[in-house]
């Protein structure tokens, strides 16, 4: 008597099906957790070593306001983080538009650039050791590269989840609802 090809043991992660052909969990379902973890790690490392939030620019606004209320001068990198983040979001938008990609292909491109920028921060920090002088030029450069890197995953996540960020709708909208939530 022939035996069934179906296995009675359940598939382990990342498989979601008990059918004969297991299906891998789509990466866009895992992206929010992965990118949140990366943003949290980059933010903690940036704040502890450089004294500014790299992933959450609003944190810098709160720190700047607290320093001004106390009567102390804010760090120049904290002030520069806001316009640098905005310029990085604009760069993301321009690169996404110029690439002509949509959905998952666009998300892969944006995540690749995100990875490369984080690798640049790592290499730059290993070479220059900006934590020695958190208010110095090298710390400021490392912080601005990290701030720039953190603009990319927001748009990559939106592209992955909706499949339609930067889809050629009216350019004036700039896909603010899907991509550029800062």
SS3 label, residue 24: strand
Q: How many residues does the chain have?
A: 182
Residue 31 lies in a domain: no
From CA 30, how far away is CA 23, in angstroms rounded?
Answer: 14
Residue 136 lies in a domain: yes
State the pLDDT at residue 123.
94
Residue 66 lies in a domain: yes
Residue 153 lies in a domain: yes
Mean pLDDT of 64-80: 87
Tell me how many domains the chain contains: 1
Domain ranges, residue 89: 38-173
C-alpha distances (whole Å) from 128 to each of 9, 133, 135, 140 are 52, 10, 13, 11
Q: What is the distance of C-alpha 67 from the center of its chain?
A: 27
Residue 10 lies in a domain: no
SS3 label, residue 145: helix
pLDDT digits (tens, 9 = 90+) for 11-57: 555 555 555 454 555 666 777 788 888 888 888 888 888 888 887 77
Residue 121 lies in a domain: yes
36: tokens are 């949140």
Residue 87 lies in a domain: yes
50: tokens are 């450089």
Residue 7 lies in a domain: no
59-84 exposure pattern, b = at least 16 Cβ within 10 A, e = fewer:
bbbebbeeeeeeeeebbebbebbbeb
pLDDT digits (tens, 9 = 90+) for 103-136: 778 888 888 888 999 999 999 999 999 888 888 8
């Amino acid at each position: 008597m022939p035996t069934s090809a179906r296995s009675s043991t359940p598939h382990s992660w990342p498989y979601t099906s008990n059918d004969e052909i297991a299906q891998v969990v789509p990466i866009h379902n895992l992206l929010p957790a992965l990118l949140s973890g990366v943003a949290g790690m980059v933010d903690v490392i940036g704040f502890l070593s450089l004294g500014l939030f790299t992933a959450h620019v609003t944190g810098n606004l709160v720190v700047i306001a607290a320093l001004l209320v106390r009567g102390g001068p804010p760090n120049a990198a904290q002030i520069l983080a806001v316009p640098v983040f905005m310029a990085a979001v604009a760069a993301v938008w321009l690169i996404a538009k110029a690439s002509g990609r949509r959905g998952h292909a666009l998300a892969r491109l944006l995540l690749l650039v995100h990875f490369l920028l984080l690798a640049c921060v790592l290499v730059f920090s290993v070479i220059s050791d900006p934590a020695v002088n958190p208010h110095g030029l090298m710390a400021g450069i490392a912080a601005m590269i990290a701030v720039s890197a953190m603009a990319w995953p927001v748009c990559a996540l939106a592209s992955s989840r909706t499949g339609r960020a930067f889809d050629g709708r009216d350019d004036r909208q700039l896909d603010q609802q899907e991509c550029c939530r800062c």
